[in-house]
Structure 1
Amino acid sequence: MGNTTITNFTNGGTIKSTGGVGVNIASGTTISNLKNTGTINGSDGIKLANGTKLETLNNTGVISSGNGSGVKVENGATINSINNSGVISGNNSGIC
Structure 2
Amino acid sequence: MPKLNRFEWLKAVLQSADLNSSTKAVASALSVQFANDKTGQLNPSLKTLDEFLAGMSLATIKRCLKQLVEFGWLFRSEGRGAGNHTEYDFRAPAKIIPFRPKK
The answer to whether TM tops 0.5 is: no
Which structure shows the higher helix fraction? 2
Larger radius of gyration: 2
TM category (shorter chain) comes to under 0.3
TM-score normalized with structure 1 length: 0.27
TM-score normalized with structure 2 length: 0.26
